[in-house]
Amino acid sequence: MIQMTASLCTTSGMVSTEHLRVTQMQCGEEGVTVFYVDAHNRGAESLHPDHAVTLHIAGLEDTKSYCAVTMYSEYWSHPKFGNDLKTVPARTQGLIVEKENGMFCVFLPMVSEYYKCDLQGEETGLSAVLYTGYDKLNHCKAPAFCYMEGTADNGNDPFAMLQACAKAGMEALGQGGHVRAERRYPEMFEYLGWCSWDAMQIRVSEEGLLQKCTEFVQKQIPVRWAILDDMWADIREFWGADYQSFGDMCQLMHASSLYDFEADPIRFPKGLKHCIDRMKEMGMTVGMWHPVTGYWRGINPEGPLFAKIKDLLIQRPDGRWIPSPEPGKLFLFYQKFHSFLRACGAEFVKIDYQSCLNTLYRGIEPIGVTAKTMQTAIEASAGAYFDGNLINCMGMASENMWNRTVSNISRCSDDFKPEDRAWFTKHITQCAYNSLVQGQFCTCDWDMWWTDDGQAVKNSVLRAISGGPIYVSDQIGRSKKEILSPLILDDGRILRCDRPAMPAKYNLTTDPEHTKGAMLVQNTCCNGKAGVVAAFNLHADDTEAAGCFGAADIYGLIPAAQYAVYEYFTGEWCILDALNVYRFTLENQDAFRLYLVVPYLEERAVFGIIDKMIAPKTIVREGKNPADTETCCPGRLAYVEHGALHIIEKSCT
pLDDT for 422 equals 86
Q: How far apart are CA 572 and CA 585, in angstroms?
A: 13
C-alpha to C-alpha distances, 504 to 513, 532, 539, nearest whole angstrom: 15, 11, 18
Domain final residue pick, 174, 208, 228: 174
The count of structural domains within the chain is 3
Q: Could you tell me if 323 and 191 lie in one domain?
A: yes
Question: The domain containing residue 572 runs over which residues?
Answer: 504-650
DSSP-assigned letter for residue 272: H
Does 493 reside within a domain?
no
* Residue 479 within any structural domain of the chain: yes
pTM tops 0.75, yes or no: yes
Confidence of residue 155 (pLDDT cuts 50, 70, 90): low
Compute the distance between CA of residue 400 and CA of residue 116 in angstroms, rounded to an integer.
Answer: 11
Question: For residue 289, what are the β-bridge partners?
Answer: 350
Q: Of 133, 153, 174, at which residue does a domain stop?
A: 174
Query: What's the pLDDT at 222?
Result: 98
Strand extents, DSSP E, 332-468: 348-352, 390-392, 409-411, 443-445
pLDDT score of 30 = 77
Asked if residue 137 and residue 114 are part of one domain, the reply reads yes
Write out 523-539 in H/E/C secondary structure.
EEECCCCEEEEEEECCC
Length of the chain: 653
Of residues 555, 559, 494, 549, the one with CA closest to residue 523: 555
Q: Put the strands of the sheet holding 604-609 in their side by side order.
A: 604-609, 635-641, 644-650
193 and 162 together in one domain: no
Percent of the chain with pLDDT over 90: 91
| Claim to verify: residue 366 and residue 457 sit in the same structural domain | yes
Q: CATH number for the domain including 357? A: 3.20.20.70
Q: Tell whether 511 and 473 lie within a shared domain.
A: no
Q: What is the largest CA-CA distance in the chain?
A: 79
pLDDT tens readout for residues 376-388 = 999 999 999 999 9
pLDDT of residue 413: 96
Spell out where 151-284 has E strands: 193-195, 225-228, 233-234, 260-263
Looking up residue 625, the CATH number of its domain turns out to be 2.60.40.1180
pLDDT at res. 43: 78
Q: Is residue 498 part of a domain?
A: no
| Phi, psi dihedral angles at 422 (to 5 degrees) | -65, -35
pLDDT computed for residue 315 by the predictor: 97
In a domain, 365, yes or no: yes
Q: Final residue of a domain: which of 487, 517, 537?
A: 487
* Interstrand relation of 63-71 and 3-9 (parallel, antiparallel or unpaired): unpaired
Q: Tell me whether residue 499 is in a domain.
A: no
Please indicate, yes or no, whether residues 104 and 71 belong to a single structural domain of this protein: yes
pLDDT tens digits along 387-418: 999 999 999 999 999 999 999 999 999 998 88
Gap between the Cα atoms of 258 and 294, Å rounded: 6
- Beta strands (DSSP E) in 305-347 are 313-315, 321-323
* Residue 527 covered by a domain: yes
Supply the pLDDT for residue 152: 65
E runs forming strands in 277-420: 285-291, 313-315, 321-323, 348-352, 390-392, 409-411
Query: Same domain for 196 and 243?
Result: yes
Asked whether residue 483 falls in the same domain as residue 540, the answer is no
Q: Are residues 111 and 137 in the same domain?
A: yes
Digit-coded pLDDT (tens) for 541-569: 889 999 999 999 999 999 999 999 999 99
Question: What element of type H or E holds 434?
Answer: helix 421-438
- The whole-angstrom separation of Cα 237 and Cα 294 is 15
Same structural domain for residues 601 and 482?
Answer: no
Whether 108 is in a domain gets the answer: yes
Residues 438, 554: one domain?
no
Residues 6+ apart with CB under 8 A from 157: 104, 150, 151, 505, 555
Tens digits of residue pLDDT in 572-624? 999 999 999 999 999 999 999 999 999 999 999 999 999 999 999 999 999 88
pLDDT at 239 exceeding the cut of 80: yes
Q: How far does the chain reach from its first CA to its final CA, in angstroms?
A: 56
Average of per-residue pLDDT across 218-233: 98
How far apart are the C-alpha atoms of 638 and 645, rounded to whole Å? Answer: 7
Same domain flag for 481 and 517: no
**pLDDT computed for residue 15 by the predictor:** 83
Residue 121 placed within a domain: yes
Identity of residue 373: T
Which CA distances in Å does 547 have to 116, 200, 424, 582, 596? 39, 40, 19, 8, 15
